[in-house]
Structure 1
Amino acid sequence: MVIDFNNLNINNLHFQTDFERKIHSFLIEWLSDSQTVTVKTSGSTGAPKIFEIEKNKMLNSAKMTCDFLELYKNNTALVCLPIEYISGKMMVVRAFERKLQLIISDPSLKPLEDLHSEIDFCALTPLQVENSLDKIHYIKNLIIGGAAVSESLKTKITQTLQHTNTPTGIYETYGMSETLSHIALKEIHPEQNNYFTVFDQISIAKDERGCLKISAPNLNNEILETNDLVEIKNENQFRFLGRIDHVINSGGAKIFPEELEALVKKEMQNEVVFLGLEDESLGQKLIAVIEGKESDDLIKKIEGIQYEKSFHKPKEIIFVEEIPRTQNGKVNRIELRRMIERS
């Protein structure tokens, strides 16, 4: 199904699938007289929350992304992210703001399966990209969000696109529900950058913990204090180190699991999550949880990695059939910890 936002008349549209009907419901809410819409957070770092967001601020966010990616009226976009969350809602709002042709594809691991021609814009999760590598050359501007893009996925993207003569630009996003999707992008292809670049009218700083503070008056009236530890390069660029609530304190040493996960994923394709489990002598014991069937080869790989510090090497390696994820694809560390502690 395609919605032409340049000539929008939802009364003439026939919504058939469950996902299409959810988009229909959101459009009714969006076109209503209410100044706000309801958004649910993913729950990847705590209990899901529901809150109201002003429509004019969502339009401000949409304009920032469309301006950065140079999206124009009648360009094509594809939405395949759950409409309950800000990521899916903002794809619709961007189409509304820029009068795009919006292709609807049910959220799945392979949302591009039926794509056979070029489109101008799409947003995917890393897991969706992993399962759609044969199609990403059709997308002129691809943003990847919901979770960090692993080094192994970046390599696969580069290998996939190096022999195609396409102008595909791919970016990792940084943002949250409170910033109405992303406020910064980091280029993955054709160039690979280490730092996120924030949009115009966004200011960044660090608090006393070393966590990112965001001033985005067009998106949120408050200064947003995150739990994301960062290195700030300049007033427009920063590097994400890890979440402060994920930091593992093992024997007095602070360990950033996201950095270890990025290192390990250069060597192996399996999903790997580092956790700290309570330990009498260390306070927290560093463990690595690997998704997949137990394998001596994988154990040797993870033990053979050249870690920067000796205490970065996991004290224990645990295999699970499937790592729990939230509905929009993020690793659910809280539920994973519960699983490990119950076993």
Structure 2
Amino acid sequence: MIFDFSKNIALESLSSETAFEEKVMRFLEEWFSAAKTVSVQTSGSTGKPKIFHIEKERMLHSAKMTCDFLNLNHGDSALLCLPVEYISGKMMIVRSIERKLKLHVVNPTSKPLENLNAPFDFCAMSPLQVENSLDKIQLIKNLIIGGAQVSENLKKEIEKSCLSVKNRVFETYGMSETLSHIALKEIFPTAEDYFTILDDVEISKDERGCLTISAPKLNPQILKTNDLVEFKNQKQFRFLGRIDHVINSGGLKIYPEELERLVKQQISNETIFIGIKNESLGEKLILIIEGTENPEVIDQLSLVKYPSKNHRPKETIFIENFPRTPNGKIDRLALKKKFDLPQTYSSKDITPNEGNSPYSKS
């Protein structure tokens, strides 16, 4: 299904053929209604999912910021392959309306490009969708990736896939309250370490070292996050990890996201570091890997260069599938609750490493 917003569209003349196309139609009816707001559902990755209402004017401003940053123009093509229940999918539609793009709609599956061969000027995808579309992402001239962090391994695969083409790939930083992203970090062709904020956004750090966002055209409130960051300047920052994920082991503060990036440079599996209660250490550092234990993965883990010996996990656990939120994000809190009491481990769920590996139990 194609919505050509470079022309006048009569919604009543269009008919949907799939459940997803019907959802897109319902959102467009809501958007073009007399109401000043639309309803958006949060992902639930940092708490219980909730519904809130956003002014259309603010969403249009967010759309303009992104389209200006990417230099999208009237008549360019865009691809929608994200659920429209969440801000990510809704904003793809709003960007197309604001910049008068030709929006192509496909079901938001894990392989959205599988049956496509035409190029597109713009698309937003999740890391999982990109991972399953590496053979075709060269079709996307401007690709933004959001919803979860982009692993080091996926960045390498993106570079291989895009090596001979002139497309651009970005990782995004944002949340529902900022109406999708407020900052972008280029992955290809230049591998950047810092996010660059969009126009009309100001950032600072609070007393905890967490990012504070002022974007009055997107949200009237100053947003205090739980994201620990490092500033390069007043326009660029690097994400270190969430303060509520910090592990305190033997008096050492450990940022799990930093360690996960190191591990993902060596293995492709999804990985999560957690701290479980321990009398002597306070919290014992545990590495949990999604997938089946095998010698190749164990060998690759031995190549990880941790900042110090105290950053090495005391135990490595393999689990078949990570718990995830409805929109596909890893539910870190549920995972921690599952393993925070070691005596509740089930041999059906986990496979602890044994032997002399530095990743075995100690």
Question: Which TM-score band applies after superposition, normalised by the shorter structure?
Answer: over 0.9
1:125 alignment partner in structure 2: 126
**What is the CA distance between 1:303 and its match in structure 2?**
4.1
Mapping for residues 280-295 of structure 1, pairs under 5 Å: 280-295=279-294
Which one-letter code corresponds to 2:181 in the other structure? Answer: H
- The one-letter code of the counterpart of 2:56 is K
Cα distance in structure 1, aligned partners of 2:279 and 2:14: 62
Distance (whole Å) between structure 2 residues aligned to residue 283 and residue 296 of structure 1: 31
**Alpha-carbon distance in 1 for matches of 2:188, 2:167:** 7
Q: Which residue of 2 aligns with 1:75?
A: 76
Aligned equivalent of 1:193? 192
Query: What is the CA–CA distance in structure 1 between the aligned matches of 2:320 and 2:339, rounded to whole Å?
Result: 12
Normalization by structure 2: what TM-score? 0.92
Give, in whole Å, the separation in 1 of the partners of 2:305 and 2:262.
9
The one-letter amino acid of 1:339's match is K
CA displacement at 1:205 relative to structure 2: 0.5
Asked whether the equivalents of residues 80 and 124 of structure 1 are also in contact (C-alpha less than 8 Å), the reply is yes
**Which deviations, in whole Å up to 9, do the C-alpha atoms of 1:93-118 show, x marking residues without a partner?**
00111111111111111001122011
In structure 1, the partner of 2:43 is: 42
- Superposed, 1:221-240 pairs within 5 Å as 221-240=220-239
Aligned counterparts of 2:220 and 2:336: Cα–Cα separation in 1: 35
The alpha-carbon deviation at position 4 of structure 1 amounts to 1.2
Secondary structure of 1:209 counterpart: coil
Equivalent-residue separation in structure 1 for 2:304 and 2:100 (angstroms): 49
**1:299 and 1:317 in contact (8 A); partners too:** no
> In 2, Cα distance between the equivalents of 1:10 and 1:127?
32
Pair member with larger Rg: 2
Contact between 1:144 and 1:171, CA under 8 Å: does it hold in 2? Answer: yes
Secondary structure, in 3 states, of the residue corresponding to 1:43? coil
Residue segments in structure 1 that go unaligned for 5+ positions in a row: none
Structure of higher RCO (CA pairs closer than 8 Å, 6+ residues apart): 1
SS of corresponding position for 2:59: helix
| Number of positions where the alignment pairs a residue of Structure 1 with one of Structure 2 | 341
User: What is the one-letter code of the residue matched to 2:130?
Assistant: V
Q: Are 1:135 and 2:128 matched, yes or no?
A: no
Is the contact between residue 81 and residue 328 of structure 1 (CA under 8 Å) also seen in structure 2?
no
The SS at the match of 2:313 is: coil
Of 9-18 and 333-342, the range deviating more from structure 2: 333-342
Establish whether residue 321 from structure 1 lines up as the match of residue 323 from structure 2.
Answer: no
- Comparing 250-259 and 294-303, the one that deviates more: 294-303
What residue number does 1:208 align with? Answer: 207
Amino acid at match of 2:73: Y
Structure 1 residue runs of 4+, over 6 Å off? none
Residue by residue, what CA displacement relative to the aligned partner does 1:286-307 show, whole Å, maximum 9, x if unpaired? 1111111122332343244221
SS of alignment partner, residue 272 of structure 2: strand
SS at match of 1:290: strand
State the shift of 1:338 in Å. Answer: 3.1
Whether the aligned pair in 2 keeps the contact of 1:213 and 1:225 (CA below 8 Å) is: yes
Alignment check: 8 A CA contact 1:171 1:185 kept: yes
Q: Is the 8 A contact 2:45 2:331 kept in 1?
A: yes
**Counterpart in the other structure of 2:108:** 107
- Structure-2 separation of matches of 1:329 and 1:121: 22
**Higher mean C-alpha displacement, 43-52 vs 215-224:** 43-52
**Structure 1 match to 2:29:** 28
Distance 1:339 1:301 in 2: 26
2:65 matched residue in structure 1: 64
Describe the SS at the equivalent of 1:301: helix
> Is the contact between residue 262 and residue 305 of structure 2 (CA under 8 Å) also seen in structure 1?
no
Partners of 1:169 and 1:303 lie apart in 2 by: 33
User: 2: CA distance between counterparts of 1:210 and 1:197?
Assistant: 18
Match of 2:242 in 1: 243
Name the aligned partner's letter for residue 26 of structure 1: F
3-state secondary structure, aligned to 2:226: strand
Amino acid at match of 1:182: H
1-structure distance, mates of 2:94, 2:142: 17
Corresponding residue SS for 1:208: coil
Identity across the alignment (%): 59
Equivalent runs, 1:164-183 vs 2, <5 Å: 164=164, 166-183=165-182
The CA RMSD over aligned residues, in Å, is 1.1
> CA offsets per residue over residues 176-222 of structure 1, 9 Å max, x none?
00000000000010111100000111101000000001110110101
CA contact (8 A) 1:303 1:313 kept: no
Distance in 2 between residues matched to 1:100 and 1:326, nearest whole Å: 31
Q: Which moved more, 1:54-63 or 1:27-36?
A: 27-36
